[in-house]
Amino acid sequence: MKLFYSPASPFVRKVMACAIARGIDDRIETVWCDVHASPPDLLAVNPLGKIPTLIGADGIAYMDSPLICEYLDGIGPAPPLYPTERGARLAALRLHALGHGVMEAAVARRGESLRPDEPARSAAMARMRDAIARTLDLLERESDSLMGPFTIGSITVGCALGYLDFRFGHEPWRETHPKLAVWFESAAKHRAFVETMPVAPKHP
Ligand SMILES: N[C@@H](CCC(=O)N[C@@H](CS)C(=O)NCC(=O)O)C(=O)O
């Protein structure tokens, strides 16, 4: 399998963390790409021009991290990260939606922060910041749902928190979310997180 990636993307990190958690990361060749340069080899397989994009073992290009993670979950003998029992599955997918939403808001906020300052930009950035803060509050209240073996939900929340540390490290969240902080400190020791720490690319 071949993964188009950037080491700064939290969506890519989620995919690689899932692959590591399931013990299939050695089957994935990573190809660094700068999406902002619209690389032809990426556009040839994913017209959206986004990463992560995975060429699966079946030769099909899978795009969008939820789809890629679900595809990877069907490979290899490890326990699934997407639970099969309905209640557990919905709980994991709900956590995933929350973590994924934090990633989307944080990536968008980071993008806005690189644009020239103007009132509309400040308002948009404030809305994203507030959405992230409210979601962390909810995750703090529901931190019990993160406990236990990794699921697609807990891995995504971990990657979202890691991205906040990476891009917004000057905005501390641990003091106000102590249960989330304790969970993250423990989860971050897993190889799935240790080996996928974000790295700033050469472009902004
Ligand atoms: N919903 C997508 C989001 C992926 C995404 O936005 N990736 C960013 C990098 S972090 C990207 O490729 N941006 C390039 C662009 O939007 O043109 C996923 O979950 O994979």
> Residue of the nearest CA to atom 12 in ligand 1?
50
pLDDT at position 203: 56
Ligand 1 centroid to Cα of residue 104, in Å, is: 9
Q: Is residue 106 predicted with pLDDT exceeding 90?
A: yes
Pull the structure tokens for residue 25: 């990361």
76 CB-near residues (< 8 Å, 6+ apart): 22, 23, 24
Domain map of the chain by residue range?
A: 2-73, 86-190
Ligand 1 centroid to Cα of residue 174, in Å, is: 27
Task: For residues 133 and 131, give the distance between their C-alpha atoms in angstroms, rounded to a whole number.
Answer: 5
pLDDT at position 109: 96
Task: For residues 25 and 44, give the distance between their C-alpha atoms in angstroms, rounded to a whole number.
Answer: 24
From 50, 112, 156, 166, the mutation candidate for ligand 1 (largest count of ligand atoms within 8 A of CB) is 50
Contact 16, 5 (CB under 8 A): yes
Phi-psi group of 59: left, alpha or beta (phi > 0 → left; psi -120 to 50 → alpha; rest → beta): left
Domain 86-190 sits in CATH at 1.20.1050.10
How far from the centroid of its chain's Cα atoms is residue 156's Cα? 5
Q: Is residue 16 predicted with pLDDT exceeding 60?
A: yes
Please state, for a pLDDT cut of 70, what percent of the chain lies above it.
99
The mean pLDDT value of the chain amounts to: 96
Per-residue H/E/C for the chain: CEEEECCCCHHHHHHHHHHHHCCCHHHCEEEECCHHHCCHHHHHHCCCCCCCEEECCCCCEEECHHHHHHHHHCCCCCCCCCCCCHHHHHHHHHHHHHHHHHHHHHHHHHHHHCCCCCHHHHHHHHHHHHHHHHHHHHHHHCHHHHCCCCCHHHHHHHHHHHHHHHHCCCCCCCCCCHHHHHHHHHHCCCHHHHCCCCCCCCCC
Domain 2-73 sits in CATH at 3.40.30.10
> Residue of the nearest CA to atom 16 in ligand 1?
50
Q: Is residue 137 predicted with pLDDT exceeding 80?
A: yes
Give per-residue pLDDT as tens, 28-86: 999 999 999 999 999 999 999 999 999 999 999 999 999 999 999 999 999 999 999 99
2-73 against 86-190: fold identical: no
Is any ligand 1 atom within 6 A of the Cβ of residue 139?
no
Confidence of residue 204 (pLDDT cuts 50, 70, 90): very low
Please state, for a pLDDT cut of 90, what percent of the chain lies above it.
94
Is any ligand 1 atom within 6 A of the Cβ of residue 49?
yes
